[in-house]
Structure 1
């Protein structure tokens, strides 16, 4: 028995994303038929955005990637009670994509891909929606002539299979204009209302703290107040079971070692502010920095570098 999935094409002004269809033969030019009894476990959409997909095995900061721009849809599925291997789950999807004219840009398996390091180059929905066994997963990325991109990751748990299908469909929507002040290096995304911050944190497992300000090249956090920290503190204090990691990011100007150190110090400054000013328990927050290893967008423009200089809150545990 199969579960049919229709990956719908989008008009330039309409973001359609992934649509579940009940009939195995109902498919369009972007249609895929999933193996096994699949059920959707999570979904996240971004209109007029961009995402880098690895097209070679992990090579550190030099890992080649393709930057896909457009409307992004990430959908995770669980195949309950299946005995299919990760390869058996992804293989028929690859064949369907090739039959529809997609070029397979790259495919690999767990340790060949790069294991832990490669997996964390990917933007995956968090547990429990998408489970990844770092020693048992399969990955592919494909593109067609209209620059639509499909990325698939499959993995296993003891009694279930998991897969995430990420699609990027080009859109005509104009890019967001970013106009940070000249005197400081401002992270560009606006802080969300409390509800929106909580929703993004819980649905995606991470959220950009978009209104933080640091002096250029410095780790000291500005005096504020910063609405994103107020809302994050409120969320953490009302959810004492949640543990987060504050992750600092930089652009790619300069050496990796110095950027990593700077990004970690910035994350530590944010952690200290949440503890000292807002009274968040220190046990709920840790801080790390990964320099320029996980850009949101290309560092090829000043606007892109502005977006990549940021601190994110990432859920580490809800126990």
Structure 2
């Protein structure tokens, strides 16, 4: 076993390719998993370009695993290269092998299937992605590695096996691929949980302007509010702990107000149905002691306030 003492074996015995038992870094700690015995998933087979991501749909069992490696100073390629070698040795053809620049940057990151932060952290400035397809079994595997200053992160997704995949077809140009799936998920989560994070709303550091951004999350929210005309929500901004509390509350409130204004002006939601508030750093989702935790805490949420007529 190569790099003895540094790697552990990840055995997914339920998969058809029993020979592929990935050796992960021994320091890897599992942080999240999501399995489906029968599912459909769009596997990236090309870079994000011309407003869309080329994918191939796989049907069958799907497993998703995320890991944190508490070793500072690693690069994404250092994390991913040994796994890539194992995947090739198991007979997979690498149809996509790219980094944060060649994959398509921000657009690629938010078009792919990623387990939620802080369990899987993706540094926009430092990630590497690989897709492998097996020519005989019909199985697909994707590897995503990312690095922050204090730790590295890995995600392994395996799909299909014994099912002939659909042809490769680029998705139509939309603000985010799989827009309808995302819309259905956002609406269901908001109604069930009472709040939801708008993942495709991004503010540049120190700014409160959306700069003409489009948002499939806001579109989904507007559709939900059109379908339920009595629903009232609050848009709530959150920050990390960099800076003072009052300054962060001011910034978070201004960002929430920008989102509220966009809902009203671009999506036709009545102003009386949307509030805007700022919490600064008073409601964190993760520790502010790490870069990945601070990124998870910088967010805009929508909270259900009530529904008229109930």
Which TM bucket (shorter chain)?
0.5 to 0.7
Aligned residue for 1:113, secondary structure, equals coil
1:148 and 2:124 correspond: no
Displacement, 1:281? Answer: 2.6
- Give the equivalent residue in structure 2 for 1:126: 116
> What is the alpha-carbon distance in structure 2 between the residues aligned to residue 116 and residue 35 of structure 1?
27
- Give the equivalent residue in structure 1 for 2:184: 208
Match of 1:232 among 168, 179, 190: 190
> What is the alpha-carbon distance in structure 1 between the residues aligned to residue 162 and residue 85 of structure 2?
26
- Give the equivalent residue in structure 2 for 1:7: 12
Higher mean displacement: 97-106 or 145-154:
97-106
Displacement, 1:109? Answer: 0.6
Displacement, 1:54? Answer: 2.0
Displacement, 1:46? Answer: 2.1
> What is the alpha-carbon distance in structure 2 between the residues aligned to residue 103 and residue 243 of structure 1?
38
Aligned residue for 1:111, secondary structure, equals coil
Matched length: 213
> What is the alpha-carbon distance in structure 2 between the residues aligned to residue 263 and residue 234 of structure 1?
16
> What is the alpha-carbon distance in structure 2 between the residues aligned to residue 9 and residue 95 of structure 1?
22
Q: Does the aligned pair in 2 maintain the 1:150–1:165 contact within 8 Å?
A: yes
1:281 and 2:220 correspond: no
Displacement, 1:70? Answer: 1.4
Q: Deviation string for 1:158-181 (max 9, x for gaps)?
A: 110001000003367xxxxxxxxx
- Give the equivalent residue in structure 2 for 1:75: 65
Displacement, 1:81? Answer: 2.2
Match of 1:139 among 125, 129, 137: 129
Displacement, 1:153? Answer: 0.3
Q: Deviation string for 1:229-260 (max 9, x for gaps)?
A: xx834632xxxxx553398xxxxxxxxxxxx8
Q: Does the aligned pair in 2 maintain the 1:233–1:278 contact within 8 Å?
A: no
Match of 2:87 among 80, 93, 97: 97
Aligned residue for 2:35, secondary structure, equals strand
1:113 and 2:103 correspond: yes
Q: Does the aligned pair in 1 maintain the 2:199–2:299 contact within 8 Å?
A: no
> What is the alpha-carbon distance in structure 1 between the residues aligned to residue 217 and residue 232 of structure 2?
23
Against the structure 1 CA distance between its residues 268 and 111, is the aligned structure 2 distance closer, same or farther, given a 3 Å change threshold?
Answer: same
Higher mean displacement: 49-58 or 156-165:
49-58
TM-score, scaled relative to structure 2: 0.58
- Give the equivalent residue in structure 2 for 1:216: none
Q: Does the aligned pair in 1 maintain the 2:225–2:231 contact within 8 Å?
A: no
Against the structure 1 CA distance between its residues 142 and 209, is the aligned structure 2 distance closer, same or farther, given a 3 Å change threshold?
Answer: closer
- Runs of at least 5 residues in structure 1 that lack an aligned partner in the other structure: 12-26, 173-186, 190-205, 213-227, 237-241, 248-259, 290-314
> What is the alpha-carbon distance in structure 2 between the residues aligned to residue 262 and residue 78 of structure 1?
29
- Give the equivalent residue in structure 2 for 1:244: 197
Q: Does the aligned pair in 2 maintain the 1:246–1:267 contact within 8 Å?
A: no
Q: What RMSD over aligned residues (CA atoms) do the two structures have, in Å? A: 3.7
- Runs of at least 5 residues in structure 2 that lack an aligned partner in the other structure: 164-178, 201-213, 238-255, 267-297, 303-310
> What is the alpha-carbon distance in structure 1 between the residues aligned to residue 218 and residue 235 of structure 2?
16
Q: Deviation string for 1:129-170 (max 9, x for gaps)?
A: 100011110000001120111000000111100010000033
Match of 1:166 among 157, 181, 187: 157
